[in-house]
Structure 1
Amino acid sequence: MNLTIKNLKKDYDKPVLKGINLELKNKNIIGVIGPSGGGKSTFLRLVAGLEELTEGSIIVNGLEITKDKIKDYHKKIGFVFQSHSLFPHLTILRNITLILEKIHKINKKNAEEKTIYLLEKFGLLEHMHKLPEQLSGGQSQRASIVRSLAINPDILFFDEPTSSLDPILTYEVLETILKLKDEKKDFIIVTHEIGFARDVADYILFIDEGKIIEHGPPNILSSPKTKNLKIFLSKVLSWNKN
C-alpha cells in the first residue's frame, strides 16, 4: 500500500493527534505501537475514514480520503475492532452473507458459497450456524476477521484485535492474521503484541503523545533511537524476562 499523510491533526476536547506527516510506498503490513492514550487508535480510525480529521490530508493508494469519497472507500476496506462487532441476533454465516448481499450486492447463493469457503479456510465452518454468544472470544474475533476479508478489501485495519483475549485466544487470532500475510494482504494493525509486530510487519510506527516519534523497519525495535521508544520497550519487554 501507499500512504501519504500531511499535517494530520485531530482534536476532541483537546488535541489528540498533533500534526502527523508520513509518506510510505509499497508497504504490505504496517504495525502501529505505543502507550495507551498516545493516539494509535485515533490514527487508525482516521486512515480508515471512520472519523473526520480536524486538519490535514490522508491519501491511501492515490485516493484522498474526503467526505465525497468516503462511501466508496469504505467498500474497499475492512475494519476489525478491539472486540468483535458481530450482530448478536444473527448466525455467523448470516453475519457475513448479509454484508455481502446488502452492501456489495452479491446474490445470496454466491454470498453463501464465498462465506462457507472462508469459514472452512479459517477453521470456523462447524460454527457457522451458531450465534456469536455461543462462540469463544477468539472464535468471534476470527469470525469478524473473516467478515472483513469476505469483501476482498484492498486494505484491512485491525485495532488491537486481541486486547480483550487471554493468551490462548490471542494466539488463535494472531495465527489467523498471520495467514493474511501469507496471502499478501495489505493491512495496518494497532497492537500491544510487540513480538508479533516485529515478526509480521514490514514497517513500524511508534506513536506517543499524538505524534509519530519513531518509524522504520522492524529492526527499530531492536535498536531504538529515541528516548520515548527506548523507555516504552523497556517497560513492555521487561515483563517477558524469566
Structure 2
Amino acid sequence: MVLDLFMAITFVLLMNPRVFNGLPFHEMAGLVIAVAILIHIGLNYRWVVNTTKKIFALELPRKTRFSFLLNILLLISMTTVIVSGILISRVVFPNLAIEGNHFVRGIHDLSANMTLALVGLHIGVHWQWIMSTCKKAFKSKEGKWRKGVIASAVLSLAVLAGGMYWISLNVKPSEGDFKPKFAEQNAPSFDEETTGTMPTPPDGEIRDGKFRKERGSNNPLLALLTYFVIWAAVIIPTYYLEKRMLKNKRAKEASV
C-alpha cells in the first residue's frame, strides 16, 4: 500500500512537468517510478505467474482475467512512457535524445494520458481490496480505531503536503546544473555573436540557454488535486459498475 501510494503521487506529479524544478525533477522522478514499477511487479510475482498459467482456464474468475489484461495494458503503456521519455531526454540521457522528436514526444504524451486513465481504472477495479486493507490497517480485530496509526497517517500527509508546498516556493529551476548537450552545442560562436544570428533549439525546448518556460501552475498540491479529481471521475463509475455486476451475478445464482 505504501509503495502504491508513492507511485500514485509520483506519477501524478510527473503529469505536470512544471512542478518543483521542472525538467530535472521530471526526468529523474520518471526513473524512480520505473524502479518502483519493477519492485511492484516483484512483490506480486507469484500472482503474475499463477494467473499467467491459468489465464485460459474456465474456472478463472472474470474479474481476475480482466485485472490481468488491464495490468498487461498498464505495463505496455508505462513502458512506452519510460522508453519515449528516454528518447526525448534533455537532462539524464541527452546523448540518447532523438533530433526532431515531435513524433516521439506525441507518443510520450499520448501514452502518459492512456496510463493515467488505465491507473484510474486499475484503482477502481481494486477499490474494495484497497478499502479492506485500509480498514485492517486503521482498525483492530475488535473493531476499535487505531488512533496511533491514524495520527501517524495524518501527520505523514501533513508533512508531505507542507514539504511539497515549501519546495514549490523555495526550490528554483536548476537548468544550469543540468545543461543539455545540445544547449552546449548550440552555444553562440564568435561569428554568431557578430552577425546576431542564433541557431534554433530543437523542438523549442531551450531558449537563451535555458529551459523553456511553459504556461501554467507549478504548484505540486494543485497538480495532485487536479489529477486525483480526474482519477475520481474514473474510479467512482468503475466501482459502482463492478458492484452492480456483482449484485446481478449473486441474484442470478440465487434464482438458480
Query: Which of the two has higher C-alpha Rg?
Result: 2
When the two structures are superposed, what TM-score results if normalisation uses the length of structure 1?
A: 0.28
When the two structures are superposed, what TM-score results if normalisation uses the length of structure 2?
A: 0.27
Task: Give the helix-richer structure, 1 or 2.
Answer: 2
